[in-house]
Structure 1
Amino acid sequence: MMRIDVEQVRQDTAGCAHVTHLNNAGAALQPRPVVDAVVEHLRLEEEIGGYEAAAARADRIEHTYDALARLVGAAREDIAVVENATRAWDMAFYSLPWAPGDRILTARAEYASNAIAFLQTARRHGVQVDVVPDDDSGQLDVGALREMIDERVKLIAITHVPTQGGLVNPAAEIGEAAREAGVTYLLDACQSVGQMPVDVNETGCDLLTATGRKFLRGPRGTGFLYCSPRVRARLEPPFLDLHAATWTSPDSYRVRDDARRFENWETYYAGKIGLGVAVDYALDLGLDAIEDRVTLLAGNLRRRLRSLPGVRVHDRGSRQCGIVTFTVDGHDSEHIARDLQAKRINVSVSVADYARWDLEPRGLTSVVRASVHYYNTDDEVDRLCAALPRAKASPGGGTGAGG
């Protein structure tokens, strides 16, 4: 079994000397090779010009497609590199042709940006949005999903790992149901890619979207989309330019054949190169080894938190990952996060607005989110727990008492 040299990866990570960074589900600390690659390209642009730098580093730019393809088990022509995961998801979702009466099946733990897109499409096109119930563990109930599929279901869209908790939805089982029914399957892997193995062949998804800045430890302003050849020919992106399509005659155009039809001409080349370096860094460590360490650290954190009086852990699911959410009785989650940041401990807060179908039914208006990565340590977990305020006698401050 591969083991991660924690001391080495911490030496590669300048931020480890300055902060206890437990906000990897927001944006992870970038390793030095990623930062060096980005800065090197920016310096080259400074010295010889942007177009010229892109031409000089064409091999490094193209390598990013190969790295991403290897990361998710795809072919390089199935990969588009875009500005962020939301842009990637929107380009995929809004490419689908909608008709009145079409149905979208999604999960209770779905992210706000995706839910808003569903609701907008329902308003525009008369589409029906149906939320699949959870099973007893809190993850999507695959049996219920199968029962809800009919001839009107146009899309199954699921977030693999929700932003507001540690559960991992059963992506492969969902994919099996989608493939059997012949329904397009869109997987939001924004929080899973980089902290665990994610293979498009195993999940069976037609479309997958992810970001660079989270568990992949890449630059901000980078993301990617996987589009299977099974569906690509019938998906025309909502926006086209001379990169995504060719102007073939005064009154016609032709969309390119590969997944780069979802890109546009102008792009963040330094970030794209840095994203490829980040993927290489993760692949060199091994995604299985990364998941093992992340799962271990997160499990230790949950146990430590549950041992503290008045601290409530709110993670659900039979399989859990590196995102840990909790509240402290009598304390507002935002105040806790600010106090921790003042002590150089980085966490974030998930509010009900981000996940109304999930948090509101559980009586939660906000939760503190601590998300570990492989460069974190048990000492940092202990430091977080020691820095939390003592619970007050009665719940308050709008944190809720669910979980």
Structure 2
Amino acid sequence: MNLNQIRQDTKGLSDNKIFLNNAGSSLMPKVVVESMVDYFHQEEQFGGYEVANRTATLLEEFYEETAKLINCKLSNIAFATSATDAYTKALSSIVFKEGDVIITTVDDYISNQITFISLQKKLNIKVIRTKNLSDNELDLEDLENLIKKHNPKLIAVTHIPTNSGLIQNVEGVGKICRQYDVLYLVDACQSVGQMVVDVEKIDCDFLTATGRKFMRGPRGTGFLYVSDRVLEQNYAPLLLDMRGANWTEYDDYELFKTAKRFEHWEISYGSLLGFMEAVKYANNIGLDNIENYNKNLSGKLRENLKNSGFNVWDWGNKLSSIVTFCEPNGELENIQKVLKENNIFFSVTYKNSALIDFTNKNVNGIVRLSPHYFNTTEEIETVSEILKNSLK
């Protein structure tokens, strides 16, 4: 990794700021912004149809780069306008009936939990959450027992919760899902871009991700991975359009073969192009390099905060580049004040966004710092010292 070049490529690092909110919405490399601006200027001159035709080959690189990113084929990738867009399209392709069971975890993302509850209210399905072990890892034995007992329609797991540094054992879950032939959906919106994500190893049926977080792409972008076995069984979103199927008879259609059937025809091609450049940028650096560098940054930050007396709430054997903490008395206000005064970018998560996890931890909220590969060890030490002094 050429850190100097990476920082030069990141215009948002100017103005004497320390940016540590990459789990929220990261800073785009300049090539991402420049490609989008150029594309929209072309649309200004020639109209969207003409520009899309002229740049069709370039736009297809999105699928090539994203397939390379997560180790799959081009045909398994669909562009989405967000991780939630991808997630709901995947869910809508599953025909749920009254009494069907979804098994998820206590650490799944708030929007996913609300979606499951909505399905529960509307379709009278059952939502069951598997247990965690004492070290906060998924209890895979409990998961297997639940599968045997309930014969679930779907297993859904968030790879990295938004409210904690925990990395959940999605590969272990994948092995069990394949053993019992259960559909498996992985939310990877916090893991894609900060670490290696390999769908062959995870062995999931669907995987969703966003552009704006650790991928460093624009808002309004994301992607959906759909496995060959699901495509071959003709899974498709509930509401298709001409992007997903060919109208063959007055009252019939034929699904297109690839995961593009999960797209809608009308998307922002300028945004897709920007996201492609973000994915290419990460691929060129190498996700293994990014993951190793991020481990060092987040590990140092977490250690410094603990040594200074903060309560750090990242529980698990494998931890990510999301660091969550509060003062010894549970307060967040002073931390927020100090970080803002020193132009340090962060986010805050409250109990209603992680109801089960924060109830178990007996906290009402946390401050979240999420370093990424454009940050320096000097920045981590600076932030650590500022926060240490705030407790005096």
Superposition TM-score tier, normalisation by shorter sequence? over 0.9
Match of 2:97?
99
Match of 2:106?
108
Write out aligned runs for 1:319-338 (5 A): 319-330=318-329, 332-333=331-332, 336-337=335-336
Write out aligned runs for 1:89-168 (5 A): 89-150=87-148, 152-168=151-167
Asked whether the 8 Å contact 2:234–2:255 carries over to 1, the reply is no
Match of 1:47?
45
Q: Which letter does structure 2 place at the counterpart of 1:71?
A: L
Aligned-partner SS, 1:307: helix
Deviation at 1:34, TM superposition (A): 1.2
CA distance in 2: counterparts of 1:83 and 1:327, whole angstroms = 33
Q: For each residue in 1:334-377, what CA deviation from the matched residue of structure 2 results, as whole angstroms up to 9, or x when unmatched?
A: 66335423421100011111121211221111100000101101
Count how many residue pairs are aligned between Structure 1 and Structure 2. Answer: 388
Change (3 A) 1:335 1:241: farther
Match of 1:37 among 14, 35, 38: 35
Percent identical residues? 40
Match of 2:242?
242
Asked whether the 8 Å contact 1:44–1:53 carries over to 2, the reply is yes
Match of 2:66 among 65, 68, 71: 68
CA distance in 2: counterparts of 1:46 and 1:335, whole angstroms = 47
The question of 1:302 aligning with 2:302 is answered yes
CA distance in 2: counterparts of 1:243 and 1:287, whole angstroms = 31
CA distance in 2: counterparts of 1:39 and 1:126, whole angstroms = 47
Asked whether the 8 Å contact 2:83–2:223 carries over to 1, the reply is yes
Q: TM-score, normalised by structure 2?
A: 0.95
Q: For each residue in 1:47-69, what CA deviation from the matched residue of structure 2 results, as whole angstroms up to 9, or x when unmatched?
A: 22111111111111101001111
Task: Give unmatched runs, 5+ long, in structure 2.
Answer: none
Asked whether the 8 Å contact 1:195–1:216 carries over to 2, the reply is yes
Match of 1:23 among 21, 24, 28: 21
Q: Which letter does structure 2 place at the counterpart of 1:41?
A: Y
Q: For each residue in 1:21-59, what CA deviation from the matched residue of structure 2 results, as whole angstroms up to 9, or x when unmatched?
A: 100001111111111111111111112211111111111
CA distance in 2: counterparts of 1:46 and 1:342, whole angstroms = 41
Match of 2:352?
353
Deviation at 1:11, TM superposition (A): 0.8
Change (3 A) 1:357 1:158: same
Match of 1:11 among 8, 11, 18: 8
Asked whether the 8 Å contact 2:335–2:390 carries over to 1, the reply is no
Q: Which letter does structure 2 place at the counterpart of 1:12?
A: D
Task: Give unmatched runs, 5+ long, in structure 1.
Answer: 393-403
Asked whether the 8 Å contact 1:153–1:183 carries over to 2, the reply is yes
Which stretches of structure 1, 4 residues or more, deviate above 4 A after TM superposition? none
CA distance in 2: counterparts of 1:139 and 1:201, whole angstroms = 22
Write out aligned runs for 1:259-338 (5 A): 259-309=259-309, 311-330=310-329, 332-333=331-332, 336-337=335-336
Aligned-partner SS, 2:276: helix
Q: For each residue in 1:210-248, what CA deviation from the matched residue of structure 2 results, as whole angstroms up to 9, or x when unmatched?
A: 011111111111000000121123423122112222222
Change (3 A) 1:163 1:153: same
Deviation at 1:331, TM superposition (A): 6.5
